[in-house]
A and B are shown apart, each in its own frame.
Chain A
Amino acid sequence: MNKKFTAIRLFCAFAIAMAITTAVIFAVSEEPLTAIYNLTLGPLQSKRHFFDVFASSVPLIFTGLALGLVFKSGNFSMITDACLYTGGVVTAALAIKTAMPSGIHPVVIMLAAAVIGGLIGSIPALLKVYFHANELVTSLMFNYVFFYLGIYTVTRFLADREAGTFASQKYASTAALGTLLSGTKFHIGYLIAIAVVILLYLLVFKTKFGYEVRISGSNPSFAKYSGINTGKVIILTQVIAGAVAGLGGSVEQMAMYQRFNWQDSPSYAWDGVIIAILSGNNPKFVPFAAFFLAYIRVGADLMSRRSDVQNELVSIIQAVLILFVTAERFMAGWKQRQEAKKALGGDK
């Protein structure tokens, strides 16, 4: 009953989001059918666009995993943003300043980005455990601190003075992650993301530590009284989440960019929130949720290129989905009636 109910509710949330989207498109567009066609079916039109969806889902998988883990432990740190951004900056620094053979270079860079990401991820957790500072508040502030630190690092040490805009020098070719399918952007990073999905799934559901994380998240006082070191759980989950996000920034930079040009922090961490929600904080479902959001993203880009509707429409779809999926009481009345009917039926 519960599983079926969750599925139906998810479907209704999705239907509401689509209805609002359609209404907005019809209200603002002069060619609404072209817009809707490209938004919903655009990515299926060619092999290139379809595999673009996989490529754009990669950073979303990483941030979705990171946030899902943090949410699972009952915390709300948004430091994922800083971890991902700084992971990208570390990648730029190592891809420009160091020379290594092609097989080893990406591995070293990814490890370094993951370590730095983990360190940054630990900061709000440490402040929470030792000073009882709310991790959401400090992480939101630290995102700005690390963003400016990253901009400083790139402009001071890595910038290409001849580029004219904000951009670093070119990365060494040894530091690129190759594509898996020629003519598309489908790259090795996707396999790395899937590997991390499997590792995190095993960590959360098959280890003692994962059990502690789940208990701390679902029932903090029980966790405390049963002897779980909740401080350790808070710090370790956020270190792991930070490392995953740092790795994500690194993979994204090496696979999709030749220079570092993130003048604004990319919104992947905020998109990770919807991935974590849709997947129910379960790593297993993260690639599917990421695929879904990436599909809409690619569709929206095609829509804004081929019609008069802008791709910012996605953020409206995203907000509506998050709101209805997390609304506990949304359709609760319907569920109750169904359950009552079943109970009464059983009586006869």
Chain B
Amino acid sequence: MNIVNDILKTLSLPEFYFAMFRSATPVLLTTLGAMISSRSGTSNIALEGTMLIAAFVGVIVSAFTQSAWIGFLGAVFAGFVISNILAYFILKLKSNAVISGIALNTFASGGTIFVLYLITGEKGASTSLPSLKLPSVEIPIIRDIPVIGAVLSGHHILTYVSLILVAAVWYMFKYTRLGMHIRAAGESPEAAESVGIPVKRVKYIALCLSGVLTGMAGAFLSMGYVGLFSSGMTAGRGYIALATQAIAAGNAAVGMLASLLFGFCQSLSNYLQSSGIPLQFIQMMPYLIIIIAYTAYCAMTEHRKKTRQLKASGGK
């Protein structure tokens, strides 16, 4: 009973929902990235490593230039470069997408530690580097509304950027030339080719865009609230984005909801750490709930497909 009370009390706190948005941000940015590459027909498994490298580069560049924004650009550029390498191997050299992605993740987890040690002499975290953080933003009018202000105002700037990007990605798929080309290249590459869409180039662009968005997610991790890089700090968020992306099935708004679900679980697990539940079960919960949501989604689509087929054959 105590635990139920704890949970209910947590759910009534505005801070809880504030933290939900905060935890959802990196996953949301990565989900959008994963969505773009996946709609173009390539699944980007290297998101995890891309995010890690971007987080690392952001900290290093901001520490050496003493400018948070140049650090941010560095992180985004790092994401761009890594996804370029991935695109080169997948599209030009015809490598297996999953295995090349795993290779880049291996490279990221070891490579970041290798360079971190070269610069700081430590392997764990960049505590000794004077790296900077990106600012948080107060929204003028919303700030003063009692509960909503506490939830929606004062977030990190990239949280707002990620919400704007949800609309931007939705708009891109629905109304722009590039968005339609990406969808066509993913759904039917031969047909797209036959009407003159440069499929390979479109796929290349889609992968690079996913890298840019994932780079932002990396910057949020290391230059958001924490302000330092620690080895393996992405903790599977790149993989979670693969699941939330699959749940979204190309719809940016659903992608946002799925990311918020992860943010909800993560935030809940942060709040419940002092309750009676063993710590490991709390840490496990976000992953478990995403698995359940994803499987339920897959089962539902499968069921819908079957009933539709049944109806079609019954009609004859």
Q: Is B146 an interface residue (CB 8 A)?
A: no
A323-B110 in contact given A28-B118, A145-B288 (Cβ < 8 Å):
no
Whether the pair A328, B99 counts as a contact (CB closer than 8 A) is: no
Known: A132-B302, A328-B94. A141 touches B278 (CB 8 A): no
Q: Report yes or no: A315 in contact with B106, Cβ–Cβ below 8 A.
A: yes
Which residue in A132, A133, A144, A327 is a CB contact (below 8 Å) of B94?
A: A327
Q: Please determine whether B278 and A322 come into contact, CB atoms closer than 8 angstroms.
A: no
In the complex, whether B98 has a CB less than 8 A from a CB of chain A is yes
Chain B residues in 8 Å Cβ range of A127: 295, 298
Given that A152-B280, A270-B106, A310-B114 are contacting pairs, would A136 and B100 also be in contact in the complex, using a CB cutoff of 8 Å?
A: no
Complex CA distance for A21 and B109, rounded to whole angstroms: 17
> Interface readout for A318-330 with B: 1 if CB under 8 Å, 0 if not?
1110110011111
Q: Tell me which of A141, A143, A151, A155 has the highest count of chain B C-beta atoms within 10 A of its own C-beta.
A: A141
Q: A132-B298, A140-B242, A315-B109 are in contact. Are A145 and B99 (CB under 8 A)?
A: no
In the bound assembly, the distance between CA atoms of A330 and B100 in angstroms comes to 13
User: How close is B108's CB to chain A, nearest CB, in angstroms?
Assistant: 8
A310 touches which of B105, B113, B278 (Cβ 8 Å): B113
Return chain A residues, CB-CB under 8 Å to B106: 267, 270, 273-274, 315, 318-319, 322
**A120 within 8 Å of B by Cβ?**
no
| Given A138-B295, A319-B103: A328 and B283 interface contact (C-beta under 8 Å) | no
Write out the residue numbers on chain B whose beta carbons fall within 8 Å of the beta carbon of A152. Answer: 278, 280-281
Task: Give the shortest distance, in Å, between B232 (CB) and chain A (any CB).
Answer: 8
Smallest Cβ-Cβ distance to B278: which chain A residue: A152
B280 contacts across to A, CB distance below 8 A: 148-149, 151-152, 155
By the criterion CB–CB under 8 Å, are B96 and A326 in contact?
yes
Task: List B contacts of A277 (CB < 8 A).
Answer: 99
Residues of B within 8 A of A273 (CB): 99, 102-103, 106
Known contacts A136-B45, A155-B280, A319-B104; A312/B291 CB under 8 A: no
Contacts of A316 in B (CB 8 A): 107, 110-111, 114
Alpha-carbon distance between A6 and B114 when the two chains are bound, in angstroms:
32
Residues of A within 8 A of B295 (CB): 127, 131, 133, 138
Q: Which residues of A contact B102 (CB under 8 A)?
A: 270, 273, 322
Given known pairs A148-B284, A310-B114, the reply for A323 and B298 (CB within 8 Å) is no
Interface size for A (C-beta < 8 A) is 45
Nearest Cβ in chain A — how far from B281, in angstroms? 7
Task: Give the chain B neighbours of A322 by CB distance below 8 A.
Answer: 99-100, 102-103, 106
Residues 74 to 103 of chain A near chain B (Cβ within 8 Å): 76
Q: Which of B85-125 contact A (CB under 8 A)?
A: 89, 92-96, 98-100, 102-107, 109-111, 113-114, 117-118, 123
Interface members, chain B 18-74 (any A CB < 8 Å): 45
With an 8 A cutoff between CB atoms, is B75 at the interface?
Answer: no
Name A221-253 residues within 8 Å CB distance of B: none
- Contact in complex: B103, A140 (CB < 8 Å): no
Residues of A within 8 A of B301 (CB): 132
Closest Cβ neighbor of A156 among chain B residues:
B278
Q: Is A184 an interface residue (CB 8 A)?
A: no
CA distance A152 to B123 in the complex (A): 26
Question: Complex: how many Å from CA A131 to CA B304?
Answer: 12
Q: Does B16 sit within 8 A of A, measured CB to CB?
A: no
A132-B298, A322-B102 are contacts. A145–B107 as well, Cβ < 8 Å?
no
Q: Are B243 and A137 in contact (CB-based, < 8 A)?
A: yes
B240 lies within 8 A of chain A by Cβ? yes
> Which residue of chain B has the shortest Cβ distance to A277 in the bound complex?
B99
Residue A285 interfacial (CB < 8 Å)? no
Q: 1/0 per position for B2-21, CB-CB distance to A under 8 A?
A: 00000000000000000000
Cα–Cα distance between A277 and B103 once the two chains are bound (Å):
11
Decide if A142 touches B114 in the complex (CB within 8 Å). no
Contacts of A267 in B (CB 8 A): 106, 109
CA distance A152 to B236 in the complex (A): 19
Say which residue of B89, B103, B236, B281 sits within 8 Å of A144 (CB atoms): B236
Contact in complex: A310, B95 (CB < 8 Å): no
* Residues on A with beta carbons closer than 8 Å to the beta carbon of B294: 133, 137-138, 141
B212 at the interface (CB under 8 A from A): no
A312 with B114: CB separation less than 8 A: yes
In the complex, whether B246 has a CB less than 8 A from a CB of chain A is yes
User: For chain A residues 117-167, which have a beta carbon within 8 Å of chain B?
Assistant: 127, 130-134, 136-138, 140-145, 148-149, 151-152, 155-156
Known: A131-B298, A144-B236, A322-B103. A312 touches B281 (CB 8 A): no
Q: List 29 A-B contacts (CB under 8 A).
A: A76-B98, A127-B298, A133-B298, A133-B299, A134-B298, A136-B242, A137-B246, A138-B291, A141-B243, A141-B294, A148-B280, A264-B232, A273-B102, A274-B106, A310-B113, A312-B117, A313-B110, A315-B111, A315-B114, A316-B107, A316-B114, A318-B103, A318-B107, A319-B110, A322-B99, A322-B102, A326-B96, A328-B93, A328-B95
Since A132-B298, A145-B291, A327-B89 are in contact, a sample of 15 more A-B pairs with Cβ atoms closer than 8 Å, ordered by chain A residue number, is A131-B298, A131-B302, A136-B98, A140-B236, A140-B242, A149-B284, A270-B105, A273-B102, A312-B110, A312-B114, A312-B123, A313-B114, A315-B107, A315-B114, A322-B99
What residues of chain B have their CB less than 8 Å away from a CB belonging to chain A? 45, 89, 92-96, 98-100, 102-107, 109-111, 113-114, 117-118, 123, 232, 236, 239-240, 242-243, 246, 278, 280-281, 283-284, 287-288, 290-291, 294-295, 298-299, 301-302
